[in-house]
Amino acid sequence: MKRILAALIFALVNVLSSVSAKDFVNLKNGSVVKGELTELSDGHLKIESADGSLWVFELSEVEHFGKDTAEQDNTESIKVAIAEKPLCYSTKGFRKQLEQNLDLGIFFLMFGYDAILGYQINSRLFFGVGTGFRRGAWTKSKYLMPLYIDARFNCSKRKVTPFFGMKAGRLLYLNEDGSSCYYSPSFGVKIHFVKARALSISLGLTCAEYYSLCDDYCCEDYEFEEGQRQRYHSSEIWSFNVRLNYQF
């Protein structure tokens, strides 16, 4: 009788300990959240802590999760499952981008669109080539076409990340002979959506040689445009730019 009673007590303790076992989530930043795992779906998980707070984490933030009483091999299998879980956006592959540009200088304004084709090497690095069309205002070269190499570096692996960009190449004058060096550093924010889709906005500077409109007081070295009394000054100028980019 004593043996039966002891066996029942041992079984009851095991049941209670399994019921009272808490879920835990270990984050990559070193934090640990304990409670009850309420939802696990593509891209994120939810866990409710003992005080009733509901925590939502992206799977990319999670190192591993499981039960406090789980064995080590179960924890390792959960780690593998998370590693194989796809992100809500792809981290490498070919990318196509359409970009709207606005360049504003002291004596000119330029507006246009670019098309960029490149490859996302990993979640941080992108390299591509681009070309486009520019329409200038208050410039002798009304129509221009940039040809450049585009490089970008994402500062984090998160869905929303700041980034640095650099364009370098040539700027061709379409309505007259000639071209100039073209380079443009920038800084912006990128928002990833499903698969390869993303939207970004950036601010930066552009350096190129322009024939910009001037008056008698702004420069001494100028040229007359045929049939007009306007004067244009040729110089390598830094301008401020704003870009809106859609990736797919």
Q: What percent of the chain has pLDDT over 90?
A: 33
Residue 223 has a pLDDT of 47
Residue 3 has a pLDDT of 52
Is residue 129 over pLDDT 70? yes
Q: Which residues contact 143 (CB under 8 A, 6 or more apart)?
A: 133, 134, 135, 136, 173, 174, 175
Structure tokens at 148: 């450049």
Residue 233 has a pLDDT of 55
Highest mean pLDDT among 26-40, 83-97, 100-114, 187-201: 187-201
Over residues 144-165, mean pLDDT: 94
Highest mean pLDDT among 79-83, 166-170, 236-240: 166-170
User: What global pTM score does this model have?
Assistant: 0.58
pLDDT category at 148 given cuts 50, 70, 90 is very high
Neighbours of 127 (CB within 10 A): 13
Q: Are 137 and 109 in contact, with CB atoms under 8 Å apart?
A: yes
pLDDT category at 78 given cuts 50, 70, 90 is low
Beta bridge partners of 77: none
- What domains sit in the chain, N to C, each tagged with a CATH number? 2-84 (2.30.30.100), 93-247 (2.40.160.20)
Cα(189)–Cα(205) distance, integer angstroms: 16
pLDDT tens digits, residue range 191-244?
A: 999 888 999 999 999 988 766 555 544 444 444 444 444 555 556 678 899 999
